[in-house]
Amino acid sequence: MSGGSVSRKSVLIGLWRVARGKPDGIAYFGGDAASFLSSLAPLLAFPLVGAVAGLFTEGPGQALTDLAMTLCALLTPAVVSYELARFWQRTDAWVRFATAFNWCEWILPVLACLILVPLSVAITLGMNEDAASLILLGCLGSYGLWLHWFLARNALSLSGLRAAVLVFVVNLATVAVVMGPRLLIHGLA
């Protein structure tokens, strides 16, 4: 696959391969600015629609604040991972990594749906809903961390330890960006 833009079919093949732990799936994602922006578009579309709806239900202040926080949360992984890639001299591979990272976020809702099917049956048969929720969150969290590590390790050609550091720092920074302002507001109130 070339470094340029790729078709939707290629993205779907890449998603399927990466979801199953196949490193060659990363090559199906584009490695240029247009591919990166294309990978951001669907992630940004839902928050934008939510903000427009929120203008009428929550008011402009809350809707725009929520949109700004969501945009920061979506862009933090790209910014932090770029800085780490730069530090480790991997900027040449970063665009493809970031593109794959964004597209692969769509694996998690699909996985959630697949996990919910047996959990729904288990709840019908008497499983506690809180236990089912913990199982769902545990599965999604574990897989999500592995997926991010897998992408960092293979797309940026990092050692396992460096990939783990990237995942930890990116997730910590994202939590700080999302929760930091809320904690500051509640702490000052």
Q: What is the pLDDT of residue 62?
A: 85
Could you tell me the two tokens for 43?
């992630």
User: Is residue 2 situated within a structural domain?
Assistant: no
User: Is residue 170 situated within a structural domain?
Assistant: yes
Could you tell me the residue range of the domain that residue 42 belongs to?
Answer: 8-188
Could you tell me the two tokens for 12?
């779907």
- pLDDT tens per residue across span 59-86: 888 888 888 889 999 999 999 999 999 9
User: Is residue 3 situated within a structural domain?
Assistant: no
What whole-number distance in Å separates Cα of residue 131 and Cα of residue 158? 36
User: Is residue 1 situated within a structural domain?
Assistant: no
Q: What is the pLDDT of residue 58?
A: 86
User: Is residue 43 situated within a structural domain?
Assistant: yes
3-state secondary structure 94-123: HHHHHHHHHHHCCHHHHHHHHHHHHHHHHH
One-letter amino acid at 143 equals: Y
Angle between helices 60-87 and 91-104 (to 10 degrees): 140
Mean pLDDT of 115-130: 95
DSSP codes joined into one string, 124-183: HTT--HHHHHHHHHHHHHHHHHHHHHHHHHHHTT--HHHHHHHHHHHHHHHHHHHHHHHH
Mean pLDDT of 94-122: 96
pLDDT at 109 over 70: yes
Q: Average per-residue pLDDT in the chain?
A: 92
User: Is residue 28 situated within a structural domain?
Assistant: yes
Sign of CA dihedral 160, 135, 39, 25: positive
User: Is residue 31 situated within a structural domain?
Assistant: yes
pTM: 0.88
User: Is residue 175 situated within a structural domain?
Assistant: yes
Structural domains in the chain (count) = 1
Could you tell me the two tokens for 179?
């929760």
